[in-house]
Chain A
Amino acid sequence: MEVVLQNLTKKFPSRDRKKKEDVIAVNDFTFEIPDGKLIGLLGPSGCGKSTTLNLISGLLKPTSGKIFFGKEDVTDLPPENRGIGLVFQNYALYPHLTVKQNILFPLQNLKGKDKLSKAQMNEKAYEAAKLVQIEELMERKPGELSGGQQQRVAIARALVKMPRVLLLDEPLSNLDARLRLQTREEIRRIQRETKITTIFVTHDQEEAMSISDMIVVMKDGVVQQIGKPQEVYDSPANLFVAKFLGTPPINIFVGQVKDNKLYIGEDAVLDVKGVANQEVYVGIRPEGFVLQEAGAFHCELNVVEVMGRDISVVSTNKASLNPTVRAIIGTENKVDMKNPTVRFGLVPRKVFLFHKETEERIDFED
């Protein structure tokens, strides 16, 4: 089922009585989510991603704009008639019911022609439990389960009615790091098996990048960029997206374009064709640095951290907006610690220029 959001806007009345202005949680969100894909809504806290999810679920009513599931306009439908499954951040499993009763709960609500016999309900519940691999926990209470197991139960409960759209609100935030890795693969597998259009919310960019077919980056209620994770990473639309994606984060410098050359400080670090002379922000991914004795870009060396898989060179540069500049290079490189300056060459496709005022990305040819 494709989900279409049309100029979706949600305003909340301001809590502060003196300020009459409404708080705009989601601002003019238009997006067509293709059928059977896994979509990650990504952004810092307070950016409106959870509000967007609640609008799709029907728990909140939009101030303006429309939501379609396929051809059907569901904007005014209450949540129960939308055919959605929702997994809450803290799972919201009924603590007094067993796992099996929890999974059966949505089925027991069905009325009229959809009503199922006891045997059919049990069969469906076991199917859902099998999908998330919790068959042997059916008689336990939620309080007796680990966080990861509770998460699976919550997903099973959301899936048991075979929803048209599955929504997950920060599904991994309550799990420890190890379980998080495991569970996100699990979510991916379940989504692939059921082919249900799935939208999940997260503030963790790594999580979103790793399993989503597409990511939506939001800030202050406004969509910044939509695309495949790798595309968004490789060509961020603006400074915010570039800063938000990637660990370790991108290095930002103040630079200048003069006669088709990019200057950071005194160094002419890169040829940039087709860019007018101006001041710019320069973003360089940590993997965009190459250790070169005659490299055009120089920094004051601080520390070299050996990570095992690669080496992280921490240095400082006057033009940098971050306190330190972090470069990640292969272990085959040797850094001369006695030399106070370190020189880098730059990989052009890992370097981005951003407009000083609008912070939009400026294309260049190298």
Chain B
Amino acid sequence: MMKKIMKSNNLKGWLYLLPAILFLGAFMVYPLIDVFVYSFEEGYNSASQTYFGVGLYNYSYVLHDTYFLQAVKNTFILVIITVPLSTGIALFISAGLSSIKWLRNLFQTIYFLPYVTNTLAVGLVFMILFKKTAYSDGLINLIITWFGGSAVDFIDGPYWAKMFVLCFYTIWVVLPFKILILTSALSSVDEQYYNAAKVDGTSKFRIFMRITLPMISPMIFYLIITGFIGAFKAYSDVVALFGTDLNAAEMNTMVGYVYDMLYGDSGGYPSYASAAAIILFAIVLTITCINLLISKKDVHY
């Protein structure tokens, strides 16, 4: 009797799970396994469904490709600069926001605007700021020349200038979400802790370091992890800023490389693309594991 009920319950459970399992299986699990398989099949052709052999050649090719190495370098620079900076700036702004009462809502709205603004509009703004045209050198260059510097071409110019624009853009785009998360985290810290610290004569700085930061550490940790993953997946922003021929502009990212290998002008190599994708996956996995290990010590739930 018991067994029968268990059995029918089991069946029911699977039935409820079915829609999710079907979708996840067809669009997540199966492609993932497929990519893994492709990455070992040399010279796979998706039209004829044939390949020459199985081995590590795809990885070897990708790892020796200068475009891929450039993409890895770009991605790492982007990650290392933007994740700490954007989190730090967001923390600074949210701390400021929660300590003012007057006009707080207005500032909150202003800081949240980039999140709801259309990407094309944002691109236009960045063009006005940075792009050199026949008529002007862009607003930033105007300011630079005012102070006696010489104009820099931020979009087609030297590598560091382009990297600066990309980092600037990325930080600016991710800030609103981080500020939103951190302001709500800050406001959820119980007022009593601050009162207790105040009675004990704790300085503002020490209250922030010893009480506020540990209390919101789970949220900061969440932002860092998702920040890392997001920055590793950067692609569309780069296209918006520098166009589609990213290899020529030296501004390709790892995801960009994967895309180019599949659909780009020099594309049509699903095996190389798969190998590159698996390498990216391995890197993100490693970094996330390291993050988790570090967080064990410093994050208080």
Q: Which residues of A contact B (CB under 8 A)?
A: 57-59, 78-81, 84-86, 88, 90, 92, 94-97, 105-106, 109-110, 161
Question: Would A92 and B214 count as touching, CB distance under 8 A?
Answer: no
Beta-carbon contacts of B186-202 to A below 8 Å, as 1s and 0s?
00001011011111111
For B192, B211, B217, the residue with the greatest tally of chain A CB atoms inside 10 Å of its CB is B192
Question: Would B192 and A59 count as touching, CB distance under 8 A?
Answer: no
Q: List 16 A-B contacts (CB under 8 A).
A: A59-B199, A80-B202, A86-B196, A88-B195, A90-B192, A92-B190, A92-B192, A92-B195, A94-B196, A94-B210, A96-B217, A96-B300, A105-B202, A105-B210, A109-B202, A110-B201
Question: Would B196 and A88 count as touching, CB distance under 8 A?
Answer: yes
Whether a CB of chain A sits under 8 angstroms from the CB of B203 is yes
For B199, B210, B300, the residue with the greatest tally of chain A CB atoms inside 10 Å of its CB is B199
Which residues in chain B, 254-301, are within 8 Å of chain A measured between CB atoms? 300
Q: For residue A155, give the distance in angstroms from its CB to the closest CB of chain B.
A: 13
Q: Which of B206, B211, B217 is within 8 Å of A94, CB to CB?
A: B211
A78 to B197, CA, bound (A): 12
B201 neighbours in A (Cβ, 8 Å): 79-81, 106, 109-110
A84 to B196, CA, bound (A): 11
Beta-carbon contacts of B224-244 to A below 8 Å, as 1s and 0s?
000000000000000000000
B152 neighbours in A (Cβ, 8 Å): none
Q: Which residue in chain B gives the minimum CB-CB distance to A160?
A: B200
Q: Which residue in chain A gives the minimum CB-CB distance to B191?
A: A92
Question: Would A80 and B200 count as touching, CB distance under 8 A?
Answer: yes
A80 to B211, CA, bound (A): 17
Q: Which of B193, B199, B206, B217 is within 8 Å of A86, CB to CB?
A: B199
Question: Would A88 and B192 count as touching, CB distance under 8 A?
Answer: yes
Q: For residue B62, give the distance in angstroms from its CB to the closest CB of chain A.
A: 44
Q: Which residue in chain B gives the minimum CB-CB distance to A102?
A: B196
Whether a CB of chain A sits under 8 angstroms from the CB of B215 is yes
Q: Which residue in chain A gives the minimum CB-CB distance to B193?
A: A92
Q: For residue A191, give the distance in angstroms from its CB to the closest CB of chain B.
A: 19
Q: For residue A111, give the distance in angstroms from its CB to the closest CB of chain B.
A: 8
A58 neighbours in B (Cβ, 8 Å): 199
A86 to B200, CA, bound (A): 9
Question: Would A59 and B200 count as touching, CB distance under 8 A?
Answer: no
Across the A-B interface, give the 8 residue pairs with the lowest CB-CB distance, nearest first. A80-B201, A96-B300, A106-B200, A92-B192, A92-B196, A96-B214, A79-B199, A86-B199
Given known A-B contacts A106-B200, A109-B200, A59 and B195 have beta carbons under 8 A apart: yes
A95 to B211, CA, bound (A): 9
A85 to B201, CA, bound (A): 11
A197 to B192, CA, bound (A): 23
Q: For residue A87, give the distance in angstroms from its CB to the closest CB of chain B.
A: 9
For A59, A84, A96, the residue with the greatest tally of chain B CB atoms inside 10 Å of its CB is A96
B198 neighbours in A (Cβ, 8 Å): 59, 78-80
Q: For residue A45, give the distance in angstroms from its CB to the closest CB of chain B.
A: 18
B196 neighbours in A (Cβ, 8 Å): 86, 88, 92, 94
A80 to B203, CA, bound (A): 10
Q: For residue A127, give the distance in angstroms from its CB to the closest CB of chain B.
A: 17
A79 to B195, CA, bound (A): 9
Q: Which residue in chain B gives the minimum CB-CB distance to A59?
A: B195
A95 neighbours in B (Cβ, 8 Å): 215, 300
Q: For residue A170, give the distance in angstroms from its CB to the closest CB of chain B.
A: 12
A86 neighbours in B (Cβ, 8 Å): 195-196, 199
With contacts A96-B214, A105-B197, A106-B200 known, what are 11 further pairs, Cβ within 8 A? A58-B199, A86-B195, A92-B195, A94-B193, A95-B215, A95-B300, A96-B217, A105-B200, A109-B203, A109-B206, A110-B201
